[in-house]
Amino acid sequence: MKTDYLIIGAGPAGINAVEGIRYFDKRGKITVVTSESIGGYSKPMISYYLAGKAGKEDMFMRPREFYGKHKVQLLLNREVVSLSAPGKKAVLADASAVHFKKLLIASGGRPVVPPVEGVEKIRGGFFTFTTAADAEGLIRYAEKNKVKNAVVLGGGLIGLKCTEGLLGRGIKVSVVELADRVLSNTFDSRASSILERNLKNAGCQVYKKDTVKKAKTDSSGALEKICLKSGKIIPAKLLIAAVGVAPAIGFLKNSGVKTGRGVIVDEYLKTNADGIYAAGDAAECGDFLSGGNSVLAIWPAAARTGRIAGINMTSRRKIKYEGGFIMNSVEIAGVPTISFGLSAAAPPGSEVLEKYVPEKNEYRKIVLSENRIVGAIFVGNIERAGIFSGIIRDRLDVSGFKDKLLNDDFGLLILPEDYRKRKIKTPEISVFN
Amino acid sequence: MAKGKNYSQFLVGRDDGRCVKCQACVRVCSNEVHSYDGKTDSIRSDSSKCVGCHFCEEICPTEAISIERNKSQLRKNANWTQDAVYNIVRQAKSGGMLLTGMGSDKNFKNYFDRIVLNASQVTNPSMDPLREPMELKTFIGSKPERVAVDRPGKLMKQLEIATPIMFSAMSFGSISLNACKSLAKAAADFGTFWNTGEGGLHRDLERYSSNAIVQVASGRFGVNSEYLEKAAAVEIKIGQGAKPGIGGHLPGEKVSAEISRTRMIPEGTDAISPAPHHDIYSIEDLKQLVFALKEATLYKKPVGVKISAVNNVAPIASGIVRAGADFVVIDGIRGGTGAAPLVTRDNVGIPIELAVAVVDERLRQEGIRHKASVIAAGGFRSSADVIKAVALGADAVYIGTAALVSLGCHLCQKCYTGKCNWGIATQDEALTKRLNPETGARQAYNLLRAWSMEIKELLGGMGINAIESLRGNRDNLRGIDLDENELKILGIKHAGQ
Amino acid sequence: MKDKKRKKGRRIIIREDYCIGCRICEVYCITQHSQSKDIIKAYKFEEGLPESGIFFEQQGTVSFAIQCRHCEDAPCLYGCPTGALYRDKKTGRVLFDGRKCVGCWMCIMMCPYGVIKADIKNSKVASKCDLCIDGEFPACVEHCPNEAIILVDDRGVKIEKE
């Protein structure tokens, strides 16, 4: 099979790449392949699907006509198993080959499965939680087996969102986390404590500094109970492993494309191979705060890198990716939270500003380095938090109004007048929405 | 009674059927008349604080507010009016002089309202300004003795204005910078002049300096060589119609950083303009100052003198013209001010209609009318007032009150409090921003444009196509309900004659 | 001379130097998005008035109200996982479809102007300016008493209501 543009992955990076390509190239043939049975849906939506708050149709990030409108050939259930960069050829699981002129690797991430004793014996009840199929499987299993208790291994973002989904189905959840707090990548202990308290009120137990040692099944192989390292035994019919995600780039072995933790790209999102680009969770792109490259597995970065890579692939423009920094928005047990940048632990030499009002479930923290904001956490009150993303991105010197950063009425009027007026006057740079 | 309430002339009416409690009125009133009570979810209005500026009424999105006259009445008394009584009540409380703003509101006979204009009927046919050219162009300055052809003559510098209307002296300090910007831009765009008053020339107004007449007043604020160099003309201010015989006083707390810089006085100090110029005690002294300024400006700019219209205004004007002034400004009793004692404003001076008539007549009699332009000022309310003043002898008029009304002023007369809700007579940042100089300039320009069109219409009606032909042309006026003496002073006949 | 109505690329400019803090812009934004679109009927008789799409701020004597800038390269569009926020190709506006919103708050995280409001209780975005798509002219521009909010076309030329 031949195509002009081959896109591996139908997630946000892939979908935005389609839009990027079509902005300049209305005729070139675009083929999107995905190993899943549905394409173009939003992975953040699977927890809402699990909770029953969204239907299957609601998970899609673009309307149904998207592929037809943009003249895209979407091939489902097609996993890419190997690639030849010099040959410009991708080989699928059914041994068929796709010849391309340009390629975008947007294959996303694969869940990391931790070593748990007895896991290999489980015939039903063990899941990871990164795809719609996972959510569907969970729902079916939970309904069929009238599951009342579940254990979620990993108190990170995916683990907690899965927990929310399960709680939404009336299932009691025990979260097991290795660190001393949940969301340890992005939250400090104060922020986490607010969430942990609210999770408890919602019927969820949180076990910290602990992990799952052994999974016990019944005679049919169905999961029955979980043994933690601390010795605690939890009866549970569901075990969900959510300890992390790694770039899904196994198929790039011996392909000629250089990889590190993810696919290594330059500031134009191009790999070392001619005509081959990478974006999203699979790629190692520019890190705005550190200056180097890193895998930044968050939705907005995937969307943006996908869009820019798509445009650059047409060769009609050459746009630099300005680099991303970690940012997350997640509501747990009814408490909305937003975090940016270096928010969990303050780097050495940095200044930290905090406002902690636990009785209101509110916490605000700003991390400053050389008078510039490099990290922030908002728990409870997320109003206007986005202004901080702009301040971080513009590397604004905040020394003139540091004392007002935590104000309840923090807004644009606290920023310096000329900065604010410029920001409001200038239209954003057009990148083809 | 030891502590009676303050009497206010106004009653704030609120139509609860229309009020949606958006609280815009609460937010905008600088006198804190309106307040919102959360517990009862209602808005209350304290009429005793209302000054009748109507800002809340005009901003209310549902027209729910109506500012009306306080219906509280004293027993009818032709001599002891309500004002007379309550003025004493205020003084009994304060022990001080009563201050006021804007022009006198007393019921002096308004001669403009008793003068009518002629129109052509059969002979000297009337003209349609929309179809035939009408010349409103006016030159302010000293004119030569006679028109000399093929002989070298000296012509003093003239100010060319597109219409016989200019903006009167209102200093930055008495009004806001936004108000000054509005008037300066409107004047520059229309082709006429504005006047800095005794506030100096603010750097944001320098771009309009080629349309600026700068004042040299008794305090000499802001006067340096740059000031004179940038100006189009210089005006020595001896007096002002609203407060003849006294100086001016801007309290220290109003002398902000900007005002301090523009007036060149220390910040926070009172800006006192003394009653007389302390170097002018005779007409010879005035002549010296006139020529000192002419020397300083290399004889390239008209130098004029502004006086209040007082009892012997005609000989005073004559003396000023002989002292070398290129223009004389006569400011009548109805002229406005930012702050003046109430007694002075309402009792000192004479109306401009009479003053301009006698000054024009006197200068003609002495054969020196050509030596200086006569500019009339003091309460012109319409283009009809303007054209009548020209017919009585003025070369041009200054408008002050009318200009501020075009910017939003509603003549509440509380300018001296510095709390002008319209952003005009205040330096409070929160208030001055209410006068958007873009829209202000547009409105003031529209005023000039509208009045100029009306003047053309009236001229055309008289069969005249140049304002020059109406100047001092008393025969085009007739008086109504004026006695013989008044007609004689004005130099006009009675209607029917 | 052809005078095409330049609807695309219209932008609202706000000038804090002229904002007098009356907040009438909010009143009219709400009215324009109410059922009756009549200010008295809406405020006195309607249940469940929408939130204002324009955000008012005040610090001392400085105030202004800001609404969605309808950025050409809108960060919020990169954040929305459901497509509830989308670009209207014809007019270039960024619009919001409440039916698709699940309250993930990514848009609030992404918007550098902070002009999207969250309705935490109902897990949906409460409001976002839509440039008064139902009417001819943005209500805030039409009713600002001091022209602190004006509408300009894609050349930056001020547009008046006809």
Q: Delimit the domains of chain A by residue range.
A: 2-110+247-313, 119-243, 338-425
Cβ pair A72, A209 in contact under 8 A: no
**pLDDT band per the 50, 70, 90 thresholds, residue C122:** confident
Q: Shortest CA distance to A59 belongs to which of B362, B257, C84, B150?
A: C84
Identify the CATH assignment for C1-68+129-162 out of 1.20.1280, 1.10.1060, 3.30.1920, 3.30.70.
3.30.70
pLDDT of residue C8: 63
SS3 per-residue string spanning B344-408:
HHHHCCCCHHHHHHHHHHHHHHCCCHHHCEEEEECCCCCHHHHHHHHHHCCCEEEECHHHHHHHC
User: Which residues in chain C have Cβ-Cβ distances shorter than 8 Å to A16?
Assistant: 78
Using a pLDDT cut of 90, give the percent of chain B over it.
Answer: 86
Which residue in chain C has the smallest CA separation from B19? C40
Q: Shortest CA distance to B178 belongs to which of B338, B407, B403, B398?
A: B407
Interval A368-389 mean pLDDT: 94
CA pair distance A222, B223, nearest whole angstrom: 97
Q: What is the CA radius of gyration of chain A?
A: 23
Count of positions (residues) in chain B? 497
C18 → closest Cβ in B28, B430, B436: B436
User: Cβ of B42 under 8 Å from any chain C Cβ?
Assistant: no
What are the φ/ψ torsions at residue C74 (nearest 5 degrees)? -75, 120
Cβ pair A16, A310 in contact under 8 A: yes
A 10 A CB-CB count for B368 gives 15
What are the φ/ψ torsions at residue B12 (nearest 5 degrees)? -85, 115
**Dihedral (CA of B470, B476, B481, B487) sign:** positive
Count of positions (residues) in chain C? 162
User: Quick one: A119-243 is in which CATH superfamily?
Assistant: FAD/NAD(P)-binding domain (3.50.50.60)
Any idea where the domains of chain C sit in the sequence? 1-68+129-162, 70-128
Interval A163-180 mean pLDDT: 94
Is it the case that residue B420 has pLDDT exceeding 90? yes
User: Which residues in chain C have Cβ-Cβ distances shorter than 8 Å to B182?
Assistant: none
Which position has the higher pLDDT, B399 or B249?
B399
Mean pLDDT of chain A: 92
Count chain B–chain C contacts defined by CB atoms under 8 A. Answer: 53
| DSSP reduced 3-state for C29 | helix
Which residue has tokens 């899943």? A36
Q: Shortest CA distance to A157 belongs to which of A108, A193, A195, A211?
A: A195
pLDDT of residue A396: 94
User: Which residues in chain A have Cβ-Cβ distances shorter than 8 Å to C87?
Assistant: 433
**pLDDT tens digits, residue range B456-469?**
999 999 999 999 99
Any idea where the domains of chain B sit in the sequence? 8-72, 113-494
User: Do A338-425 and A119-243 have the same topology in CATH?
Assistant: no
Interval B319-323 mean pLDDT: 97
C102 → closest Cβ in A53, A327, A393: A53
Q: Which CATH class is domain C70-128?
A: alpha beta
Lowest mean pLDDT among A254-268, B40-54, C85-99: C85-99
For residue A354, the cross-strand partners are: A365
**pLDDT band per the 50, 70, 90 thresholds, residue B302:** very high
Residues belonging to chain C with any Cβ–Cβ distance to chain B shorter than 8 Å? 17-24, 27-28, 39-40, 43-44, 61, 143, 145-148
Is it the case that residue C7 has pLDDT exceeding 70? no
Q: Which CATH class is domain A2-110+247-313?
A: alpha beta
pLDDT of residue A261: 94
Tokens describing residue A400: 């003139």
Interval B228-240 mean pLDDT: 96
Identify the CATH assignment for A338-425 out of 3.40.50.740, 2.40.50.100, 3.30.390.30, 3.40.50.11030.
3.30.390.30
* Burial annotation A377-415 (CB, 10 A radius, 16+ → b, else e): bbbbbbbbbbbbbbbbbeebebeeeeeebeeeebbbbbb
Identify the CATH assignment for B8-72 out of 3.30.70.20, 3.60.10.10, 2.30.30.90, 1.20.210.10.
3.30.70.20
Identify the CATH assignment for B113-494 out of 3.90.1300.10, 3.40.47.10, 3.40.50.300, 3.20.20.70.
3.20.20.70
pLDDT of residue B291: 97
**What does DSSP say about strands C94-96 and B212-216: parallel, antiparallel, or unpaired?**
unpaired
Angle at A183 between CA A178 and CA A188, to 5 degrees: 100
The set of chains that have 3 or more CB pairs under 8 A with A is C
**What does DSSP say about strands A97-105 and A238-241: parallel, antiparallel, or unpaired?**
unpaired
Helices B313-322, B283-296: inter-axial angle, 10-degree rounding: 40
Q: Testing the interface with C: which of B14, B19, B20 to mutate, by most C Cβ within 10 A?
A: B20
Interval A233-253 mean pLDDT: 94
pLDDT of residue B154: 67
**pLDDT band per the 50, 70, 90 thresholds, residue C152:** confident
* Burial annotation B128-164 (CB, 10 A radius, 16+ → b, else e): ebeeeebebebebbbbeeeeeeeeeeeebbbbebebb
Lowest mean pLDDT among A180-184, C144-148, C152-156: C152-156
pLDDT of residue A116: 87
Cβ pair C20, B30 in contact under 8 A: no
CA pair distance A109, A130, nearest whole angstrom: 9
Q: Shortest CA distance to C86 belongs to which of A16, A45, A67?
A: A16
Interval C41-62 mean pLDDT: 93
Which residue has tokens 């910040």? B267
| DSSP reduced 3-state for A94 | coil
Contact (CB<8Å) C69/A424: yes
Is it the case that residue A209 has pLDDT exceeding 60? yes
**Dihedral (CA of A45, A47, A49, A53) sign:** negative
Q: Is C143 left (phi over 0), alpha (psi -120 to 50) or beta?
A: alpha
CA pair distance B405, A25, nearest whole angstrom: 61
pLDDT of residue A282: 96
Q: Quote the longest CA-to-CA distance of chain A.
A: 71
**pLDDT band per the 50, 70, 90 thresholds, residue C3:** very low
Q: Concatenated DSSP letters for C129-159?
A: ----TTSSS-HHHHH-TTS-EEEE-TTS-EE
**pLDDT band per the 50, 70, 90 thresholds, residue A241:** very high
Q: Shortest CA distance to C146 belongs to which of B204, B420, B432, A421?
A: B432
* Burial annotation A113-140 (CB, 10 A radius, 16+ → b, else e): eeebebbeebebbbbbbbbbebbbebbe
Give the minimum alpha-carbon distance from C83 to chain B in angstroms, rounded to a whole number. 35
Q: How many CA atoms does the CB half-sphere of A324 hold within 13 Å?
A: 28
pLDDT of residue C72: 83
pLDDT of residue B151: 64
Which residue in chain B has the smallest CA separation from C27? B22
**pLDDT tens digits, residue range A44-98?**
999 999 999 888 888 998 888 899 999 999 999 999 999 999 999 999 999 999 9
Q: What is the CA radius of gyration of chain B?
A: 24
List helix spans (H) across C8-162.
24-32, 39-45, 75-79, 106-110, 139-143
CA pair distance A268, B74, nearest whole angstrom: 85
pLDDT of residue B150: 62
Using a pLDDT cut of 70, give the percent of chain A over it.
Answer: 98
pLDDT of residue A431: 31
pLDDT of residue A425: 77
List helix spans (H) across B254-341.
257-263, 283-296, 313-322
pLDDT of residue B156: 77
Cβ pair A275, A90 in contact under 8 A: no
SS3 content of chain B, % helix, strand, coil (to 5): 35, 15, 45
**pLDDT tens digits, residue range A319-359?**
999 999 999 999 999 999 999 999 998 888 999 999 999 99
Is it the case that residue C92 has pLDDT exceeding 90? no
Mean pLDDT of chain B: 94
**What does DSSP say about strands B99-100 and B65-69: parallel, antiparallel, or unpaired?**
unpaired
Is it the case that residue C20 has pLDDT exceeding 60? yes
Q: Shortest CA distance to A300 belongs to which of A266, A338, A327, A336?
A: A327
* Four-CA torsion B43, B44, B47, B51, nearest 10 degrees: -40
Lowest mean pLDDT among A261-275, A417-431, B336-350: A417-431
Give the minimum alpha-carbon distance from C43 to chain A in angstroms, rounded to a whole number. 25
A386 → closest Cβ in C66, C103, C109: C109
Contact (CB<8Å) A428/C109: no
Cβ pair A222, A124 in contact under 8 A: yes
Using a pLDDT cut of 70, give the percent of chain B over it.
Answer: 99
CA A263 from chain centre, in angstroms, equals 17
Total-model pTM: 0.90
DSSP 8-state code for residue A85: T
Q: What is the CA radius of gyration of chain C?
A: 16
CA pair distance A357, B443, nearest whole angstrom: 53
Is it the case that residue B492 has pLDDT exceeding 70? yes
C61, amino acid identity? T
Lowest mean pLDDT among A159-173, B220-234, B284-298, C85-99: C85-99
Cβ pair B162, B467 in contact under 8 A: no
pLDDT of residue C4: 45
CA pair distance C26, C24, nearest whole angstrom: 5
Interval B470-480 mean pLDDT: 96
C and B touch with 3+ CB pairs <8 Å, answer yes
* Four-CA torsion B489, B490, B494, B495, nearest 10 degrees: -170
Contact (CB<8Å) C78/A300: yes
CA pair distance B416, B317, nearest whole angstrom: 31
Tokens describing residue A351: 């200044």
Gap between the terminal Cα atoms of chain C:
18
Kind plus residue range of the DSSP H or E element containing B443: helix B437-461
The set of chains that have 3 or more CB pairs under 8 A with C is A, B
**pLDDT band per the 50, 70, 90 thresholds, residue B470:** very high
